[in-house]
């Protein structure tokens, strides 16, 4: 290092961020687009003077880009204030639009909590809900789902494209066929797959969130397929085709679209790069950490996400121990949730919920990052087990 005798070289390792499924780091093109649009797209796109028309032009272009990347028509896409708002509007608007067909909402047991919260509101308003179970890998029971949508009075069905906690891909195509056979619209929460490919075939309503694909936070996408009934669940105005009230955040939308175009172009290469890294995590953790349960489908899964639970380990302590070593991960353990309830996804699958961590990789994650995690993780778990006195139990 060029240092003389007595010089101590400190190795400072950069933090390793492994929580892309919560928020992916901002894509460089999104940053550029955001900075440019702050100057160029600040005006109200509903106004007819020059600056307003410029904002409208940028917004229209962003909508066209997002539509192309998701495989929709531009007039099917509305921008929301965030992904959660898009979910709520998809579910409640989809149910409201089909009020005359019935009041039953069918969804999988492992939908995002935003879907479940919308379902709770539906029930509070007098509606009915059927939750369809999943297998140990988190894949919804297609026969049970098909039976559920054949019941009288089904207004809407919901199945996510892939699970956000365990990465399992859902059989959207098969479920969509069952829904189509009974004329029930299918809402697909595509938060974890948007930017990795088009929306799965058979969707009637869909939603996504820009900060899962490298766009800025604060941009959600609601897609309502042409001809699908949708009715605003709350006061509406003329914005976003009457589907999302309030002026659009044009700079953020533009940045989101730029990021989506970029990650869509990179998707195949990133899939090929990240998938083996997750395979390596799954294989190495299973081999080096005793009593660990790897959740989710090992094959039919998202390329970038893996979840595991360590027997007898406190999830919160595990998060803090990893954070202290520079690893940012999330957890589905009850002690890490504000409600102190375990992840409804892990519970529906029947897998261990304590000692749980989810790792989700992104375009900035390197093989060296993964190797560092794999080198340190066994000792982190062993230390916590030693401290708790549960070794060999």
DSSP 296-355: S-SSSB-TTEEEEEETT--HHHHHHHHHHTTEE-B---GGGSTT----HHHHHHT---TT
- By beta-carbon proximity to other proteins, the closer residue of 267 and 347 is 347
Query: Cα separation of 341 and 291, whole Å?
Result: 22
Question: With left for phi above 0 and alpha for psi between -120 and 50, is residue 38 left, alpha or beta?
Answer: alpha
Residues 6+ apart with CB under 8 A from 380: 318, 321, 322, 325
Provide the minimum distance between the beta carbon of 339 and other proteins in the complex, in angstroms, as a whole number: 9
- By beta-carbon proximity to other proteins, the closer residue of 33 and 351 is 351
Provide the minimum distance between the beta carbon of 316 and other proteins in the complex, in angstroms, as a whole number: 9
80 is catalytic: no
- By beta-carbon proximity to other proteins, the closer residue of 33 and 357 is 357
Provide the minimum distance between the beta carbon of 350 and other proteins in the complex, in angstroms, as a whole number: 6
Provide the minimum distance between the beta carbon of 60 and other proteins in the complex, in angstroms, as a whole number: 48
- By beta-carbon proximity to other proteins, the closer residue of 78 and 353 is 353
Q: Give burial (CB, 10 Å; 0-12/13-18/19+) of 325.
A: middle
- By beta-carbon proximity to other proteins, the closer residue of 192 and 309 is 309
Spell out where the chain has E strands: 16-17, 77-80, 104-108, 128-132, 154-158, 186-189, 205-209, 220-224, 292-295, 305-310, 327-328, 356-360
- By beta-carbon proximity to other proteins, the closer residue of 141 and 291 is 291
Provide the minimum distance between the beta carbon of 132 and other proteins in the complex, in angstroms, as a whole number: 18
216 within 8 A of 26, measured Cβ to Cβ: yes
Query: Cα separation of 84 and 41, whole Å?
Result: 24
133 within 8 A of 185, measured Cβ to Cβ: no
- By beta-carbon proximity to other proteins, the closer residue of 135 and 234 is 135
Provide the minimum distance between the beta carbon of 341 and other proteins in the complex, in angstroms, as a whole number: 5
Long-range contacts (CB closer than 8 Å, 24 or more residues apart) made by 144-153: 145/106, 145/108, 145/175, 145/178, 146/174, 146/175, 146/178, 148/106, 149/106, 149/178, 149/179, 149/182, 149/184, 150/178, 150/182, 151/104, 151/106, 152/102, 152/104, 153/101, 153/102, 153/103, 153/104, 153/128
Choose the catalytic residue: 69, 80, 179, 335. 335
Binding residues for other proteins, rule: CB under 8 A, are 291, 293, 309, 311-314, 333-335, 340-342, 346-347, 350-355, 388, 390, 393
Q: Closest Cα to residue 221, out of 390, 43, 30, 78? A: 78
Task: Give the catalytic positions in this structure.
Answer: 335
């Amino acid at each position: 290092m060029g240092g003389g005798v007595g010089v101590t070289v400190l190795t400072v390792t950069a933090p390793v961020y492994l929580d892309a499924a919560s928020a992916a780091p901002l894509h460089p093109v999104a940053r550029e687009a955001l900075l440019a649009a702050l100057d160029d797209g600040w005006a109200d796109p509903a106004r007819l003077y020059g600056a307003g028309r410029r904002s409208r032009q940028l917004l229209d272009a962003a909508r066209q880009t997002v539509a192309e990347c998701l495989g929709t028509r531009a007039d099917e896409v509305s921008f929301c204030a965030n992904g959660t708002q898009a979910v709520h509007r998809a579910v409640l608007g989809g149910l409201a639009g089909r009020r005359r067909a019935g009041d039953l909402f069918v969804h999988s047991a492992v939908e995002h909590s935003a879907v479940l919260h919308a379902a709770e509101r539906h029930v509070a308003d007098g509606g009915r809900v059927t939750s369809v179970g999943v297998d140990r890998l988190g894949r919804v029971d297609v026969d049970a789902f098909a039976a559920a949508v054949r019941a009288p009075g089904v207004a809407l069905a919901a199945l996510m494209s892939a699970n956000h906690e365990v990465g399992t891909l859902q059989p959207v195509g098969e479920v969509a066929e069952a829904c189509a056979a009974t004329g029930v619209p299918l809402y697909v929460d595509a938060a974890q797959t948007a930017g990795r490919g088009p929306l799965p075939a058979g969707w009637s309503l869909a939603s996504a969130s820009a900060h899962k694909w490298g766009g800025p936070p604060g941009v959600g996408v609601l897609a309502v397929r042409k001809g699908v009934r949708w009715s605003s669940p709350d006061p509406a105005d003329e914005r976003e085709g009457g589907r999302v009230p309030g002026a659009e955040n044009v700079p953020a939308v533009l940045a989101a679209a730029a990021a989506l175009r970029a990650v869509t172009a990179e998707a195949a290469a990133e899939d090929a790069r990240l998938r083996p890294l997750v395979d390596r995590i799954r294989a190495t953790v299973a081999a080096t950490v005793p009593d660990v349960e790897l959740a989710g489908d090992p094959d039919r899964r998202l390329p970038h996400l893996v979840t595991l639970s360590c027997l007898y380990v406190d999830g919160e302590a595990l998060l803090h121990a990893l954070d202290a070593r520079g690893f940012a991960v999330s957890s589905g353990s009850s002690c890490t949730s504000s409600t102190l309830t375990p992840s409804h996804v892990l519970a529906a699958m029947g897998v261990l919920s304590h000692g749980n961590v989810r790792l989700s990789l992104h375009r900035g994650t390197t093989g060296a990052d993964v190797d560092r995690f794999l080198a340190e993780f066994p000792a982190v778990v062993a230390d916590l087990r030693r401290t708790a006195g549960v070794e060999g139990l």
